[in-house]
Structure 1
Amino acid sequence: MTAESQQPTFEELGVAAELCDALAAEGITRTFAIQELTLPIALDGRDLIGQARTGMGKTFGFGIPLLDRVFDAADVAELDGTPRALVVAPTRELASQVSDDLRRAAAFTPVRVCTIYGGRPFEEQIKALDNGVDVVVGTPGRLLDLHKRGNLDLSQVAILVLDEADEMLDLGFFPDIEKLLAALTHQHQTMLFSATMPGPVLTLARTFLNKPVHIRAEEVGAAQTHSSTKQVILQAHRMNKDDITARILQAKKRGKTIIFSRTKRSAAQLADNLSRRGFHVAGVHGDLGQGAREKSLRAFREGKVDILVATDVAARGIDIDDVTHVINYQTPDDPMTYVHRIGRTGRAGNSGTAVTLVGYDELLKWQAINDELGLDIPEPPQWFSTSPELFEALDIPESAQDSVGPATSPVGGGAEAMRGNGRNAAGDRGKRRGSRGKGKAEHDERSSRGPRSGRGGRGNTSGGRRGRRS
């Protein structure tokens, strides 16, 4: 019996039949570990802290019980268009992906989901709220703005979810989070999900959660990186990194690949360089307008391009299961950034490969990461684009060259787009300057309205059939 077949189904855990049917239509029937552990507690309305690394299924760990309780829980008021659940996410990309997942799972229910983030006019978001929504997913700043304006009614919120709490801490959103939490003075369920538990996150949980159950999807002390991800680390001369990257991109069985750069300028330049070498590339970084960012991410998700060049802030919340390779073009600044980066591959039971190019001037930075994570690679080997060891370690065919064909045009994020869109992007992120640390560029996120299902009251779209828990 395989490990997957041993995992219980959503139906076996008492999830509503309408939700199970929608998940089955997406090919999802059995739970991941974090979902198996959280569902029984969350379905009972208890507060919880869910801790698991990225890519382990946290979204459905809170999303399925949230929808189940909003749809038909005795302690949640009948749906009347006033929000019954609020999900707070650190970035516009993650908010959009969570909303999409919730909409798919709620396809056979009348539950309406709305996404709220900055960069778009308030009017369309206010109209969506006025039309009636049941679940609101958004980023902290815009949610707080709409609440202060009186457009976002939190008085009937029965379920609150804080997703990726550690990333919200990193981005400087905790002051807004605390204000939102303070606005929920009535009794409600709170679920906090996070990959790591730094001190401020634990303090927040102790302050605002009521006797939460702390759930870990892995044992205490487990490695912080996925065992399903092969890690290859090498020292590379700065002038040779582009050639090495081009060879890695020709590895056998390489699929979707995310390349991380430390700065916006190097991300744009690398996207241009790879495009000139014939690769199909999209770029995502903070100097792009929201339209260009969405275009790049959409092209990557849909497979129109198979390479995404991104900075760390821009890549937060990118949740795509079929990424086969991650390349750290520049060494991350700290161990947690390394964990988050390589966690973009080897997800949802898939295997992956993470390659880190350590510049000669980045060795001390790498050694700090190595020591913290216990990787036992303090002195990575020095390889070049022609080194046989590189080809062998990454299964690169001997025929691989510096380029693969005629030049292409990067989607969204090349240096030319950076010059053309930089000031527009500044408008997206300038709404609330001064209230953030390093994350202020990601503050006000863009909104996309959830589909509206017309109904009066709670209606049951499946003739009353319910796969309820006993």
Structure 2
Amino acid sequence: MTTFADFGLSKELEKSVLNMGFEEPTPIQAQSIPIALNGRDMIGQAQTGTGKTTAFGVPLIEKITVDGGIQGLVIAPTRELAVQVAEELNRIGQVKGIRTLPIYGGQDINRQIRSLKKKPQIIAATPGRLIDHIDRRTIRLNQIKMVVLDEADEMLNMGFIEDIERILGDIPEGRQTLLFSATMPKRIQSLAERFMVEPELVKVKAKEMTVTNIEQYYLEVHEKQKFDVLTSMLDIDSPDLAIVFGRTKKRVDEVVEGLIKRGYSAEGIHGDIPQAKRDQVIRRFKDQTIEIMVATDVAARGLDISGVTHVYNFDIPQDPESYVHRIGRTGRAGKKGLAYTFVTPREIDHLRIIEQVTKKKMTKKKVPTFKEVIAGNQEATISKLMRVIENGENAEYKRAAESMLEDMDSVSLLSAALKLLTKEPDVTPVTLTAVAPLRNKKPKSFGGRSNNSRDRSGRSNDRNRRSDRGGGSRNRKKNQ
């Protein structure tokens, strides 16, 4: 069995890895770290959730010195992923004193300039905002030792490929380049041939990409039934933290509005929500101030939130990669997770393709009945009562209970309490704008989607927004 001690890391890095609780590397880490430590260019084909940040983070920080300016660069497709990468790298580099600064659109650029004056050794950046800094000469790339392209296929889909080519062209030759991508479309292969030197390929097999500790179900429902089925499932499952995925920004807004109308604690996240608000929603969700986060696929990439017990695919994802990324938000850190996918009758073939590519068959689940919802609510109430008893939070009510028991039997008293506390299914009318079913498009291989950034059905999809500049020198659309 390979361990991190087998990599011959410096004492500082060994201590950081030990502090983070890492012992046995994941498959992508075990294969990637030795190659990167030897200074070779590398292509890693792996999904989010396989530990790829550590796979490039360990060799990146090992090669960097405290005094030497910006020596490492990680380019990521979304703000959330850039922030997550920076957090992970700061943990890995803590003992050695290597600092990583996230750079992304939507944040005040002057604030970033002030942070850059503190001389971080690594930058984790989205492409558009990075180019803004390059143009302003607030970031110089002349000392870069290693550059990492994280989720390169996603950057291609979001229209960043020309920005990537320009950035790589500005970095001096002799650097080491690592590229990570779930899929390898021709444009990414061309990018690798142009900017990498005899890269070694590390590929995590599809069976290792799917998460085994997530129970996966699907429910066949008509479009008009979806919202009522969702609330029924929420009542039955009573999730601690749940993420609901919708296909469009409008869908997310309408689902959030409907959930709040029916008394659920929910907020949404998508590309039209200001960055400060998005950060606030994510923070409240992590703190469990809200129980349900409704999101477009932007939240499937890069967000690392512990404790998510349930994922509901309100709309079936457009491709197998998105499905894997979505459900990967639960079942993390060795814990069990539940994932439900709502499928309209016309989308069953699309579901079968996801099953075929991910090599995981979903279990069909019946739409819950009214009686099942009531039973689920009763179970949730009983669980709450048991927690109060176990935590000893009911002492001040014992005298009142003893007084009531003098006039009635305990069963009658407890059943009345259950009736009072059990939530009745809310049938407040909620109408959502219908979303057209996905057209079936059979992939050639894992994640074999078209390189065309526009969905084949002609839908507007907010994953295809290009810019993340938010105040940059060029006028571009917002990204997610």
> TM-score band, normalised by the shorter chain?
0.7 to 0.9
Letter in structure 1 aligned against 2:296: T
How many Å apart are 1:376 and its aligned residue?
A: 5.9
How many Å apart are 1:84 and its aligned residue?
A: 0.4
How many Å apart are 1:18 and its aligned residue?
A: 1.8
How many Å separate the matches in 2 of 1:406 and 1:222?
40
Letter in structure 1 aligned against 2:228: D
How many Å apart are 1:364 and its aligned residue?
A: 5.3
Does residue 375 of structure 2 align to residue 351 of structure 1? no
Scaled by the length of structure 1, what TM-score is found? 0.76
CA contact (8 A) 1:247 1:400 kept: no
2:367 aligned partner:
384
SS in 2 for 1:207: helix
How many Å separate the matches in 1 of 2:263 and 2:24?
41
Letter in structure 1 aligned against 2:180: F
2:119 aligned partner:
132
Pick closer, same or farther for the CA change 1:263–1:201 going to 2, 3 Å. same
Pick closer, same or farther for the CA change 1:46–1:354 going to 2, 3 Å. same
SS in 2 for 1:233: strand
Greater CA deviation, 360-369 or 223-232?
360-369
How many Å separate the matches in 2 of 1:270 and 1:398?
25
How many Å separate the matches in 2 of 1:404 and 1:88?
47
2:459 aligned partner:
none
Letter in structure 2 aligned against 1:334: D
Does residue 71 of structure 2 align to residue 79 of structure 1? no
2:12 aligned partner:
18
How many Å separate the matches in 2 of 1:370 and 1:28?
32
Pick closer, same or farther for the CA change 1:131–1:376 going to 2, 3 Å. closer
> Given the alignment, which residue of 62, 65, 83 partners 2:59?
65
Pick closer, same or farther for the CA change 1:47–1:122 going to 2, 3 Å. same
> Given the alignment, which residue of 310, 325, 329 partners 1:340?
325
1:324 aligned partner:
309
How many Å apart are 1:141 and its aligned residue?
A: 0.7
CA contact (8 A) 1:243 1:385 kept: no
1:199 aligned partner:
186
How many Å separate the matches in 1 of 2:365 and 2:214?
22
SS in 2 for 1:327: strand
Which of structures 1 and 2 has the larger relative contact order (alpha carbons within 8 angstroms, sep 6+)?
Answer: 1
Q: Which ranges in structure 2 are unaligned for 5 or more consecutive residues?
A: 382-421, 427-431, 433-452, 455-461, 472-480
Letter in structure 1 aligned against 2:32: T
Does residue 292 of structure 2 align to residue 304 of structure 1? no
Cα deviations by residue, 1:334-377 (Å, 9 ceiling, x for unpaired): 33322322232334443322110113454454455456556567
> Given the alignment, which residue of 11, 35, 42 partners 2:36?
42
How many Å separate the matches in 2 of 1:17 and 1:30?
17
How many Å separate the matches in 2 of 1:381 and 1:38?
38
SS in 2 for 1:65: helix
CA contact (8 A) 1:231 1:353 kept: yes
CA contact (8 A) 2:159 2:465 kept: no
**Matched ranges for 1:123-272 at <5 A:** 123-218=110-205, 222=207, 225-250=210-235, 254-272=239-257
Does residue 124 of structure 2 align to residue 98 of structure 1? no
CA contact (8 A) 1:240 1:384 kept: no
Number of residue pairs aligned between Structure 1 and Structure 2: 398
CA contact (8 A) 1:236 1:383 kept: no
Structure index of larger Rg: 2
Does residue 468 of structure 2 align to residue 444 of structure 1? yes
CA contact (8 A) 1:286 1:314 kept: no
How many Å apart are 1:228 and its aligned residue?
A: 2.6
CA contact (8 A) 2:286 2:306 kept: no
Greater CA deviation, 205-214 or 246-255?
246-255
How many Å apart are 1:326 and its aligned residue?
A: 1.3
1:461 aligned partner:
none
How many Å separate the matches in 1 of 2:324 and 2:302?
14
How many Å apart are 1:404 and its aligned residue?
A: 4.7
Pick closer, same or farther for the CA change 1:404–1:155 going to 2, 3 Å. farther
Scaled by the length of structure 2, what TM-score is found? 0.74
How many Å separate the matches in 1 of 2:219 and 2:262?
23
SS in 2 for 1:249: helix
Cα deviations by residue, 1:74-106 (Å, 9 ceiling, x for unpaired): xxxx723x2100000000000001101111222
How many Å separate the matches in 1 of 2:267 and 2:211?
26
How many Å separate the matches in 1 of 2:288 and 2:9?
33
Letter in structure 1 aligned against 2:198: K
Q: Which ranges in structure 1 are unaligned for 5 or more consecutive residues?
A: 1-5, 72-77, 408-414, 416-435, 448-470
Letter in structure 1 aligned against 2:135: K
1:467 aligned partner:
none
Pick closer, same or farther for the CA change 1:69–1:21 going to 2, 3 Å. same
Pick closer, same or farther for the CA change 1:215–1:24 going to 2, 3 Å. same
Pick closer, same or farther for the CA change 1:382–1:115 going to 2, 3 Å. closer
